[in-house]
Amino acid sequence: MKRLPRRSTPAVLVALTVLAACVLAAVVSVQTLLGQDPWIDPHALFAAVHDTRWADPVVTLTAAVCVVLGAGLLLCAVLPGNPVVLPLRDDDPETRSTVDSGVTRRSLRNVLRTAASSVDGVTATRLTLGRRTITTTVSTDRTITDGLAAAVRGAVENRLDRIRPAIRPAVVVHVKARRTR
């Protein structure tokens, strides 16, 4: 079970652009039908487009911008993002059927951050979930930080053992002492 993220930001940007173009076309059409002066004169617009040449810098720049935006949207659609739900291991010998279960990245991050914060001497915790590593940066008010990184790593790994993710990430711990020796 790996649920990938939705690509909502690019979809919203494209939808808003298309909506704005459609609203503008509808408003200009209604203004023309009612005999009012339209916001954009279609005849002047068509004449300006008709008089431009393919070699004009405006056409080249517009085409380059469209190519870059299209390539960016295509990459957003094709490349997978970080999974939202991480699969959990199912190796219970008593059950014959497999159960698809998972944990969200946010929940896993919060649980592991709580485990790291529960270590004596830790005052602040920042935890980053990567594809293959979990990086934990803890702050402490202690002047001597010997053994603190090992204790935090042990707490996070103990919690990972209880959660049992399908792919076990490596745990990296950095300690920042607020006071100097």
pLDDT of residue 103: 87
Q: Which two tokens stand for residue 51?
A: 């008089």
**Residue pair 78/7 in contact by the 8 Å Cβ criterion:** no
Per-residue confidence in pLDDT tens, the chain, 181 aa: 556 667 778 888 889 999 999 999 999 999 999 999 888 888 888 888 888 888 899 999 999 999 999 998 888 888 877 778 888 887 766 666 666 788 888 999 999 999 999 999 899 999 999 888 999 999 998 888 889 999 999 999 999 999 988 888 999 999 998 765 4
pLDDT at 134: 94
Whole-number pLDDT of residue 93: 63
pLDDT of residue 63: 93
**What is the rounded CA–CA span in Å between residue 12 and residue 10?**
5
In 10-166, beta strands by DSSP E: 85-87, 102-104, 122-129, 133-140
**Which two tokens mark 48?**
């300006």
pLDDT at 138: 94
Strands 122-129 and 102-104: unpaired
- For the chain, counts of helices (H) and of strands (E): 5, 5
pLDDT of res. 54: 87
d(CA 152, CA 120): 9
Query: For residue 166, what pLDDT is reported?
Result: 85
- Structure letter (DSSP) for residue 6: P
Q: Are 135 and 128 in contact (CB under 8 A)?
A: yes
pLDDT score, position 111? 94
pTM of the model: 0.63
How many residues are present in the chain? 181
End-to-end CA distance of the chain: 48
- pLDDT at site 173: 94
